[in-house]
């Protein structure tokens, strides 16, 4: 269930004429039974599965309501990452928790942070220092021991580590699990996604770590416009996920 496929897929932007017009004046968050609802002129919108848009914390409901409030003439769902993730948590996670936890573990099995370059030396040293620090964090804070290698060839991680990741994922509430699964796909790293959830790194820092080799090469050779645009789009997603986790912690 990556950021590009499955429940977290983001469709191409529809034509403006196909987007629903904004039909409400006020978007706000309000306490309701079971949590905090997003309300549009006092009414709670429904998910694609016809479930009310109710969040577990006031801060998260306010974050989602802010996206609705930011819409102008039409409702552009591609500009509402927290709303999309909320719908995923509400409609899908409860029914597929085991599958989602297994996918989080699968990302851990090929975690980006475990595949260090063989050369050049400055890149190898940077990866050992910065990626190594994150793997040390995972061991110290979560009890997860990974085995990094200096190769791009797949190397299996300890089965006990993957089992522990899956078990950890299953302990998360639906909204946290949705965020961790999305982040693992976005960053190519379960470790970075878990660190982002814990507030150990910011969204921007997590993305920079996931792009460490790309950034290293750009510092030497420069970055073309297409790569820069892609990096900016990923930064928006990473920062939105940072806000998602921050709201869940409040």
Q: Write down which residue in 57, 74, 91 finishes a domain.
A: 91
Same domain, 150 and 87: no
* pLDDT at 243 (0 to 100): 97
Same domain, 120 and 228: yes
pLDDT tens series, the chain, 250 aa: 444 334 443 333 444 457 889 999 999 999 999 999 999 999 999 999 999 999 999 999 999 999 999 999 999 998 999 999 999 999 999 899 999 999 999 999 999 999 999 999 999 999 999 999 999 999 999 999 999 999 888 999 999 999 999 999 999 999 999 999 999 999 999 999 999 999 999 999 999 999 999 999 998 888 888 888 999 999 999 999 999 999 999 8
Number of domains in the chain: 2
Q: Is residue 229 part of a domain?
A: yes
Q: Is residue 21 part of a domain?
A: yes
Domain at 103, CATH number: 1.10.3580.10
* pLDDT at 1 (0 to 100): 41
For β-strands 27-32 and 54-55, DSSP reports them as unpaired
Q: Is residue 189 part of a domain?
A: yes
Same domain, 142 and 41: no
d(CA 58, CA 249): 11
* pLDDT at 19 (0 to 100): 85
Domain at 74, CATH number: 3.30.2180.10
* pLDDT at 223 (0 to 100): 81
Q: Write down which residue in 64, 91, 118 finishes a domain.
A: 91
Same domain, 224 and 169: yes
Contacts for 224 with CB less than 8 Å, ≥ 6 apart: none
Same domain, 17 and 29: yes
Q: Provide the residue range defining the domain that includes 226.
A: 95-249
Same domain, 67 and 86: yes
Same domain, 155 and 71: no
Q: Is residue 1 part of a domain?
A: no
Same domain, 126 and 244: yes
Same domain, 151 and 240: yes
């Amino acid at each position: 269930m990556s950021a590009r496929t499955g429940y977290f897929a983001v469709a191409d932007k529809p034509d403006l004429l196909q987007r629903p017009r904004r039909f409400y004046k006020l978007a706000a968050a309000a306490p309701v039974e079971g949590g905090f609802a997003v309300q549009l002129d006092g009414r709670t919108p429904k998910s694609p599965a016809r479930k009310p848009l109710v969040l577990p914390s006031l801060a998260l409901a306010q974050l989602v309501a802010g996206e609705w409030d930011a819409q102008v003439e039409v409702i552009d769902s591609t500009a509402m990452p927290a709303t999309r993730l909320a719908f995923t948590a509400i409609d899908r996670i409860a029914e597929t928790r085991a599958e989602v936890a297994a996918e989080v573990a699968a990302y851990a099995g090929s975690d980006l942070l475990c595949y260090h370059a063989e050369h050049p030396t400055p890149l190898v040293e940077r990866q050992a220092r910065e990626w190594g620090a994150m793997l040390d964090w995972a061991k110290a804070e979560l009890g997860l021991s990974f085995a990094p290698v200096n190769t791009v060839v797949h190397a299996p991680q300890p089965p006990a580590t993957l089992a522990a990741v899956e078990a950890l994922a299953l302990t998360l509430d639906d909204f946290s699990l949705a965020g961790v699964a999305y982040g693992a796909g976005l960053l190519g790293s379960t470790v970075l996604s878990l660190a982002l959830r814990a507030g150990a790194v910011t969204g921007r820092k997590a993305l920079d770590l996931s792009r460490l080799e790309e950034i290293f090469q750009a510092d030497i050779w420069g970055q073309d416009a297409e790569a820069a645009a892609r990096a900016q789009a990923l930064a928006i997603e990473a920062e939105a996920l940072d806000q998602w986790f921050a709201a869940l912690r409040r």
